[in-house]
Structure 1
Amino acid sequence: MGAGVVATGGGNSAFTHLLDQNRLWYNNRRLIALHGWIVLLLITSSTNGFDGSLLNSFQSLSVWNDYFATPAGGRLGVLNAMQNIGSLAAYPFAPYLSDGLGRRPTIWIGSLIMLIAVVLQSAAQNWGMFLSARFLIGFGLTFAANAAPMLVTEIAYPRYRAPLTALYNSLWYSGNIVATWSTFGTQHINNNWAWRIPSILQGIVPVLQVFLIWFVPESPRWLISKGKEEKALQTLAYYHADGNEQDPLVQFEFNEIKSAIDLDREVSANVGWKSLIATPGNRKRMAIIVALAFFSQWSGNGLVSYYLKDVMVSIGITDSTIQLLINGILAIWNLFWAVLSSFLVNRLGRRLMFITSVIGMLIAFTFQTVCTARYQITLNNNAAHAVIAFIFIFYASYDLAFTPLIVSYTVEILPYSLRAKGFNIFNFVISVALIFNQYVNPIAMGHIGWKYYIVYCCWLCFELAFCYFMIVETKNLSLEETAVLFDGEEVSNALHNATREVRHEDYDEKTSDSGYTPTNELKA
């Protein structure tokens, strides 16, 4: 970890002092425009949240249950898992589209497929048609969800990169809110429009992205990797320095990205899927990424996220209106904590947030288990109310790290050459975990009830140990500098030597017009 200490000490001085302290997101029209386009990318996650919450809400609608013969057990598990089965089918193709065609075309293709799926789902006439739509939604979402967070990370102004990338997964709950409350509002419609209207609303984000995505700037890293260096420099300059290509920050970003990509090309290990496990640094990355993907779905959250109705029934809450109301309030609660946590990323750091999050989940889920058992044994209403309270506490803890950080941490610890493939593995593991969770949870709860919760209590203990020993702090480092924490001093020195000469030229000669004088530390 010696090289990591060096990176942390020098990483801040390498680029943060180049930032214009007066250039903030709200007082610069080009940053405002950039953040507007980033919002268009961030709401990709809301599409996922909408879809994840839709079926949860539909299960409380009598007209939906009547139309599809009240799915339960394995049949309900297959329905919930179908979206992720569609995602699995798209994973072999997603990284090649993101790296080959570019981030923007990949998002457009995914959004177009989702739009077709929404039409099919909204007009579903039978079980097979509904299932097919669920498959297509997952298939299209994989393309958009693979490219969108990477593009956010790669075009964001350095000061705002971490919180914006953290916001990506946090906005999952914005879709959750729309799906939950729209279904709450249509529950009293005594025909199939009670579920068709929320299904139609799922097409809002895909429509916006299909028509607007071409106005979003393409990733400078992707442009440089394809030999379009002039366009990459123009993009960085336009959004990060009001069009000044000689700005010290722009020159630093451009040269560091170019040097890192050139270095990746020279290292034969960074080619193909095998590269993900070819070096000790990459193996550690993948261990963390795979673990976080599993943890994000196997922490007990899947019980409430997809089977809230069953959880509510287990504590005596059978009224569909109350179930939908609790679901809707929980969605707003989750969005609040997830967004708040996103803006604390640079203050608290990744490691502290992950460890605190798991401790909070473990405590809350343990008490939730105890109170659920007490209610089922004694039928004590106070115990049922306590379960609801601990569900809210559990999600506040979950949202501290596992909502905002799992995507942002994954993309920032992966170097450019591995980012699309590594992030695809992350999404693949999430889908596998979800399929297992969505299929097994209703069956296990039906057979052993509250005792199934004990499994998650034990698993959370393992999560805590893993996060304590494995999570690496990456606070205040650029995407390129983060690689040093995993790859060690050798790669750090190679990148430093590759960029050192050009930095001296840029900062000593090209920036005199801007009035910037390099620090002694940078010249050293």
Structure 2
Amino acid sequence: MAPGAVSNKEPTALAIAELLDPRPWYKNGRLLALNAWIFLLLITSYTNGYDGSMMNGLQILDQWKGAMGNPAGGKLGLLNAIQNIGALCATPIAPYVTDGIGRKLAIIWGASLMIIGTAVQSAAQSVGMFTGARFLIGFGLTFAANAAPLLVSELAYPPHRAPLVSTYNSLWYSGSIVAAWTTFGTFRISTEWAWRIPSILQGLPSVLQVCLIWFCPESPRWLVSRGKHEKALNILAYYHGRGNEQDPLVQFEYNEIKEAIALDKEIAKNVGWLTLFSTPGNRRRMRIIIAIAFFSQWSGNGLVSYYLNLVFSAIGITSQTDQTLINGILQIFNLIVALIASFLCDRAGRRVLFLTSNVGMLLFYVMQTICFAQNSITGSQAAGHGVIAFIFLFYLAYDIAYTPLIVSYTVEILPYALRAKGFTIFNFTISLALIFNQYANPIAMDAIGWKYYVVYDCVLAFEIVFMFFYCVETKNRTLEETAALFDGEDKVDTIAARAGTQAGVDAALGRHPADNKQDEEYDEKHEHEHV
């Protein structure tokens, strides 16, 4: 099947949802509640984004540099990389926790570890204490970051799934914004509170999650996989069907989930790590997942994400005020672009966004390289300002796809049985790429200066070629239906036939939107019920 082709043999859950209830989602109280819970899950990304921007800001602060012994080179690289080293250590355990105790408890466990790590980091009296705390934050973040996107994708109302999961990674910049502007506000404080206050705020989303997530619904797919069919059906009915278990969309989703999981278990009764590479379809998935994980960190963005102060110093911008101000504005710009792109993923398509992003990144990074070289060789102030302008344009291109799509695309192309393990491979690859970047970037910048940018120019050119040949379009498909693009249409047909959903689909397609009045009456009658 050609990339982007969608089977017309069966109606999709998205089409059924839109036909049954064409009203705006904010006029449905249960969808409002569901999306509020999903927002609580989405802010997991805040902590990760906060860390990168916070470390950028702390490196600008003389108060932090003095407290940490003015770290540089390898020592500075370790301080930045240690969180991802902690994440790497937790990576082999995370999928077993996520699949074993459930998505909710995995998030609670990870958030609790991050709260402890943030407390130790904020109270650090030495560079060793600060480093150990960052290791613990990274270790805990892995559990939360492994489970949260899965729970979002498995809870979301079908038409909302792709934009919401894409929003997950886009909210990385919400943490960046808070960190950047916090350090901009605190650098004037002469004491160590200049860096302790930003550190304390890193734990805010974890505190909210530990307090509130107990009341969030669990993944229906995880419940079905554990034999808790009634609970799964209740959750789907309550949030997707206005409380009606016989709603055609609810029955369609429930039967599709149930039979997809059953079929996956039959195909791979002992799902292990080797299963990720055991079939042509799975190998195709992993090739894409590993590639976009590396591309998301090896596109030159690592220089600005963690070592913006080195870039600014190299082009002659040394004022703490100027550095922290530009960093703060950049993070707001990134968030706006990434959120807009998140809601375009089903309109424009994943393939179009990825290719547009890659071409734009290469163009603007080459221009950034030219300006950097001109500034280094001639000392041109205009060229230095050009570097800043092209940093913004580069991130405009980067945020079109590599901020919103890498998580949602990874999650949606993996079948349920492999989703946690496959997503772990994705996170593991990102951690490897980040650790390399965080160690290598300051050393390479010191050694070869602007010539280091040429390395990333070559990487970006390779990315365009790879994505052109291997990126598969997946828009407007449910999680189960996406399997057709990798495992063939036969699998989707088998799921549909075994689920016996055609009667429910026919009922849905034959139903008139005016019938929503019956749903409203049912909803009013049963509004007091809680899943």
- TM beyond 0.5: yes
**Aligned residue identity for 1:150:** L
Partner of residue 496, structure 1: 496
Deviations 1:402-431 (A, max 9, x none): 000000000000000000000000000000
- Cα displacement (A) at 1:222: 0.2
| 1:474 maps onto 2:478 in alignment | no
Partner of residue 247, structure 2: 247
CA contact (8 A) 1:270 1:418 kept: no
Partner of residue 267, structure 1: 267
Deviations 1:257-301 (A, max 9, x none): 001001011113771111100000000000000000000000000
| 1:16 maps onto 2:15 in alignment | yes
CA contact (8 A) 1:255 1:503 kept: no
Rounded Cα–Cα distance in structure 1 between residues aligned with 2:395 and 2:508? 53
- Cα displacement (A) at 1:28: 1.0
Higher mean alpha-carbon deviation, 419-428 vs 503-512, is at: 503-512
Partner of residue 150, structure 1: 150
- Cα displacement (A) at 1:210: 0.6
Aligned positions of 1:83-102 closer than 5 A: 83-102=83-102
Rounded Cα–Cα distance in structure 2 between residues aligned with 1:74 and 1:13? 52
Partner of residue 113, structure 1: 113
Query: Residues 195 and 284 from structure 1, CA distance in 2 versus in 1: closer, same or farther, beyond 3 angstroms?
Result: same
- Cα displacement (A) at 1:365: 0.2
Rounded Cα–Cα distance in structure 2 between residues aligned with 1:233 and 1:510? 21
Deviations 1:134-177 (A, max 9, x none): 00000000000000001000000011111000000000000000
Rounded Cα–Cα distance in structure 2 between residues aligned with 1:476 and 1:101? 31
Partner secondary structure for residue 59 of structure 1: helix
- Cα displacement (A) at 1:502: 4.3
Partner of residue 303, structure 2: 303
Deviations 1:277-336 (A, max 9, x none): 000000000000000000000000000000000000111111111111110000000001
Rounded Cα–Cα distance in structure 2 between residues aligned with 1:32 and 1:512? 24
Rounded Cα–Cα distance in structure 2 between residues aligned with 1:208 and 1:383? 45
Query: Residues 263 and 371 from structure 1, CA distance in 2 versus in 1: closer, same or farther, beyond 3 angstroms?
Result: same
Partner of residue 222, structure 1: 222
Deviations 1:423-466 (A, max 9, x none): 00000000000000000000001000000000000000100001
Partner of residue 387, structure 1: 387
- Cα displacement (A) at 1:492: 2.9
CA contact (8 A) 2:358 2:397 kept: yes
Rounded Cα–Cα distance in structure 1 between residues aligned with 2:293 and 2:3? 27
CA contact (8 A) 1:2 1:489 kept: no
Aligned positions of 1:308-323 closer than 5 A: 308-323=308-323
Partner of residue 38, structure 2: 38
Aligned positions of 1:164-179 closer than 5 A: 164-179=164-179
Partner secondary structure for residue 467 of structure 2: helix
Partner of residue 519, structure 1: none
TM-score (norm. length: structure 1): 0.95
Moved over 3 A (4+): 2-5, 7-15, 505-516
Rounded Cα–Cα distance in structure 2 between residues aligned with 1:382 and 1:123? 42
Partner secondary structure for residue 480 of structure 2: helix
Partner secondary structure for residue 116 of structure 1: helix
| 1:211 maps onto 2:219 in alignment | no
Partner of residue 522, structure 2: none
Query: Residues 100 and 246 from structure 1, CA distance in 2 versus in 1: closer, same or farther, beyond 3 angstroms?
Result: same
| 1:356 maps onto 2:348 in alignment | no
Rounded Cα–Cα distance in structure 1 between residues aligned with 2:196 and 2:65? 13
Partner of residue 73, structure 1: 73
- Cα displacement (A) at 1:215: 1.0
Query: Residues 126 and 3 from structure 1, CA distance in 2 versus in 1: closer, same or farther, beyond 3 angstroms?
Result: closer
| 1:279 maps onto 2:279 in alignment | yes
Rounded Cα–Cα distance in structure 2 between residues aligned with 1:36 and 1:122? 30
CA contact (8 A) 2:64 2:192 kept: yes
- Cα displacement (A) at 1:2: 6.2
Partner of residue 291, structure 1: 291
Rounded Cα–Cα distance in structure 2 between residues aligned with 1:410 and 1:510? 31
Deviations 1:185-242 (A, max 9, x none): 0001001000001111111101000111111110000000000001000000100111
Rounded Cα–Cα distance in structure 2 between residues aligned with 1:483 and 1:510? 23
Rounded Cα–Cα distance in structure 2 between residues aligned with 1:134 and 1:471? 35
Rounded Cα–Cα distance in structure 1 between residues aligned with 2:404 and 2:41? 15
Rounded Cα–Cα distance in structure 2 between residues aligned with 1:459 and 1:506? 47
Partner secondary structure for residue 464 of structure 1: helix
Partner of residue 485, structure 1: 485
- Cα displacement (A) at 1:491: 2.0
**Aligned residue identity for 2:503:** H
TM-score (norm. length: structure 2): 0.94
- Cα displacement (A) at 1:340: 0.6
CA contact (8 A) 1:51 1:202 kept: yes
Partner of residue 236, structure 1: 236
Aligned positions of 1:365-404 closer than 5 A: 365-404=365-404
Count the aligned residue pairs: 514
Deviations 1:367-412 (A, max 9, x none): 0000000011111111011110000000000000000000000000
- Cα displacement (A) at 1:26: 1.1
Identity %: 61
Query: Residues 497 and 12 from structure 1, CA distance in 2 versus in 1: closer, same or farther, beyond 3 angstroms?
Result: closer
Partner secondary structure for residue 245 of structure 1: coil
Deviations 1:466-504 (A, max 9, x none): 1101010001001000001000133233223212x3432
Q: Tell me the C-alpha RMSD between the 2 structures.
A: 1.8
Rounded Cα–Cα distance in structure 1 between residues aligned with 2:448 and 2:183? 30
Aligned positions of 1:416-431 closer than 5 A: 416-431=416-431
CA contact (8 A) 1:18 1:248 kept: no
CA contact (8 A) 1:373 1:450 kept: yes
Rounded Cα–Cα distance in structure 2 between residues aligned with 1:505 and 1:336? 40
Rounded Cα–Cα distance in structure 2 between residues aligned with 1:509 and 1:75? 62
Rounded Cα–Cα distance in structure 2 between residues aligned with 1:294 and 1:36? 32
- Cα displacement (A) at 1:23: 3.7
| 1:442 maps onto 2:431 in alignment | no
Rounded Cα–Cα distance in structure 2 between residues aligned with 1:232 and 1:450? 55
Partner of residue 413, structure 2: 413
CA contact (8 A) 1:115 1:206 kept: yes
- Cα displacement (A) at 1:357: 0.1
CA contact (8 A) 2:249 2:508 kept: no
Query: Residues 416 and 56 from structure 1, CA distance in 2 versus in 1: closer, same or farther, beyond 3 angstroms?
Result: same
Rounded Cα–Cα distance in structure 1 between residues aligned with 2:508 and 2:463? 51
Structure 1: 5+ residue stretches without partners: 517-524
Structure 2: 5+ residue stretches without partners: 516-531
Partner secondary structure for residue 368 of structure 1: helix
Partner of residue 258, structure 1: 258
Partner of residue 464, structure 2: 464
Partner secondary structure for residue 9 of structure 1: coil
Rounded Cα–Cα distance in structure 1 between residues aligned with 2:461 and 2:513? 54
Rounded Cα–Cα distance in structure 2 between residues aligned with 1:136 and 1:184? 26
Query: Residues 316 and 506 from structure 1, CA distance in 2 versus in 1: closer, same or farther, beyond 3 angstroms?
Result: closer
Rounded Cα–Cα distance in structure 2 between residues aligned with 1:243 and 1:208? 28
